[in-house]
Each structure stands twice: as C-alpha cells, then as structure tokens.
Amino acid sequence: MKLIFKRKSKLKEIFFEKIFALCSYLSILTTVLIIYILATESFQFFKQIPITDFLFGTHWEPLLEPKSFGVLPLLFGTLLIVIGSALISIPLGLIIAIYLSQYASSKARRIIKPILEILAGIPTVVYGYFALTFITPIIRIIFPDAEIFNALSGSIVVGIMILPMVASLCDDALQAVPKSLKQGGYALGTTSFEVIKGILIPSAFSGIISSFVLAVSRAFGETMAVTLAAGATPRFTINPLESIQTMTAYIVQVSLGDTPQGGIEYQTIFAVAGLLFIVTLMMNLFSNYIMHKYREVYD
C-alpha cells in the first residue's frame, strides 16, 4: 500500500528562493549607492579644491569668507573625542567583561547584562543632553577655564556610550574560550587572576582587539552627543577643554543651516562624509578580519 501524493510545484520553490536572494542583494545595492553618492559629489568638490588642500590644510572655514577647506581641524576634533572615549571605554569595558565572565555570580550576571543592554540602547541624543547639562557643569567646576562646549565632556559621554559595547563584545570573546583551557590552567594550581592573565586574555586576544577597533570606529562616527556637547568650532587643537568640531558635527551644522544645494559649501559635507566613511570602513573591515580569523581557531 502506497500513499497517493499530489505533485509539488517546483516553480514555487524557485520563486521563493529568488525573492529571498533579491532581498539579501539589496544590502549590496545600499553599499553601492552610498559609495556612488559620496564619490560623485566629492568629485565635484575636488574639482574645485585640490585634494591635498583638503587633507593637509589646517584651517576649516567653508561657510565664511575667506573660505578655506583644510579638514585637519575636523579630523583632530574627531580624534580628540575618539582617543578620549577610548581611554575610558577600553580599560573599563575589558575589566567589566573580565568581572562578568570570571568572577560574577550568575545572579550578578543576570542583573548586569540587561543594564548594559539598556545603557547601549539609550539614544545618543540623550547622552548628548546628559553631557551638556550634567558632565559639563562638573568639568567647569573642576576646570573653571573650560568652555561651555568642550571636547572633554564629549569624550567622556562617548566613552560611556560605547562602554557597554566593549564590555559585551569582550565578554563574548572571553566566553568563547573553551572551558577545558581554563580548567587546564586551574589544574596547574593557578589563581583566577593568573588564568585570566595567562590563558583567557591571550586566547581571546583577537576577539578583544576586534571589539576595541569596533568601538573606536563607533566613536569616530558618533554624531548627536558630540554635536550637543563638544561644540561647533573647528579648531586645530589638542586641548580637551576647548570647544571643537567633529566631522559629524560639521555635517549636522550644514544640514541644519540654509546652505543652498549644489554649492561648494554643500559639497563639503559629501567630502567630509566620504572621509568618515572610508575611515570607519577600514576599521570595520579590520575588526571583521581579526574576528573572523579568531573564530576559526576554536571552531
């Protein structure tokens, strides 16, 4: 006795597969469009301003006469934020991850992990507000000559912002270290600290580095918090108490103003965004590369 079946339509199968494939290729279209738009508009810009003037000029004054288009002040402003926030988030994030993966009880983990997630989910504009109305006043008490908008406040708040990301990515990397390795260490009579230092961190090293790079890239592209807290004064400075302007904050400033479409001022945002895109892309690719390499080791 056999069951009698109706034949299935092969066409339907193929149709669905094609639709699904189409959706996933949309992401490539997105990348292509981003690159196309940034490239074409930047090309217009660089037809008028030599690329060396842009990359190595130390004066950024595209909106007022006499105009000058040296991106270094914006780049330095951005780097100030990036370095400051990295100094906060990287060591703290790693320590939190170590505590979570090594010392914390499962009960403590159950409390800390969601809090980190909530912190990571708070909109950047809220962090900007917090910097402006809470961190900056404290900074100005400690350093009375700090300006209302200053790089330090921006760095601190961006550091707080990316801290949860560093912590949870490092935690993932530490968790991925096989238990047997850890137990091998304990079997030799080592303490937890020695296992962390000698086994856990070296084994998870590329995962940890990859998370650092990702965090730095995130700080590089961060917009709202620095727009609110760090100011709108493109300055070629390394003094964190001064008002600066990041690349992202400049783009916001232009789009908030009445800059006419098609003019050179307007094209600057594409040139700046292009630079921003290239730098973050390199960091993301690098992070992805080391992450991928490390995955293979323990699979």
What beta strand segments (E) does the chain contain?
60-61, 68-69
Q: How far is the CB of 145 from other proteins (least distance, A)?
A: 20
Contact 55, 71 (CB under 8 A): yes
Of 13, 56, 202, 238, which lies in the binding site for other proteins, with binding defined by CB under 8 A? 13
Is 19 among the residues that bind other proteins (CB under 8 A)?
A: yes
Contact 266, 254 (CB under 8 A): yes
Interactions with other proteins, residue window 45-84 (CB under 8 A): none
Between 238 and 295, whose beta carbon lies closer to other proteins? 295
Of 2, 11, 107, 141, which lies in the binding site for other proteins, with binding defined by CB under 8 A? 2
Nearest to 249 by CA among 40, 33, 73, 69: 73
Q: How far is the CB of 87 from other proteins (least distance, A)?
A: 14
| Tokens coding 248 | 């992202």
Q: How far is the CB of 66 from other proteins (least distance, A)?
A: 27
Q: Which stretch binds other proteins (CB under 8 A): 43-51, 177-185, 191-199, 202-210?
A: 191-199
Is 271 among the residues that bind other proteins (CB under 8 A)?
A: no
Of 51, 56, 180, 191, which lies in the binding site for other proteins, with binding defined by CB under 8 A? 191
Q: How far is the CB of 189 from other proteins (least distance, A)?
A: 8
Q: How far is the CB of 121 from other proteins (least distance, A)?
A: 6
Q: How far is CA 77 from the centre of its chain?
A: 16
Which residues on neighbouring strands pair with residue 68, listed in sequence order? 61
| Tokens coding 97 | 């991850």
Is 209 among the residues that bind other proteins (CB under 8 A)?
A: no
Considering CB under 8 A, how many residues would be counted as binding other proteins? 91
Is 44 among the residues that bind other proteins (CB under 8 A)?
A: no
| Tokens coding 278 | 């290239």
Q: How far is the CB of 35 from other proteins (least distance, A)?
A: 10
| Tokens coding 89 | 């988030």
Interactions with other proteins, residue window 122-161 (CB under 8 A): 122-126, 128-130, 132-134, 160
What Å distances lie between residue 279 and 6, 15, 97, 247, CA to CA? 57, 40, 27, 12
Of 158, 244, 252, 271, which lies in the binding site for other proteins, with binding defined by CB under 8 A? 252
What Å distances lie between residue 38 and 42, 239, 255, CA to CA? 6, 31, 16
Is 264 among the residues that bind other proteins (CB under 8 A)?
A: no
Is 11 among the residues that bind other proteins (CB under 8 A)?
A: no
* Alpha helix stretches (DSSP H) within 49-150: 51-56, 72-98, 106-121, 124-130, 136-142
Interactions with other proteins, residue window 91-120 (CB under 8 A): 92, 95-96, 98-100, 103-104, 112, 114-119
Is 121 among the residues that bind other proteins (CB under 8 A)?
A: yes
Of 75, 151, 158, 218, which lies in the binding site for other proteins, with binding defined by CB under 8 A? 218
Interactions with other proteins, residue window 171-190 (CB under 8 A): 189
* Peptide bond before residue 260 is cis, with ω within 30 degrees of 0: no
Q: How far is the CB of 99 from other proteins (least distance, A)?
A: 4
| DSSP-assigned letter for residue 69 | E
Compute the C-alpha angle 125/127/128, nearest 5°.
60
The Cα 292–Cα 210 span in angstroms is 9
Q: How far is the CB of 186 from other proteins (least distance, A)?
A: 12
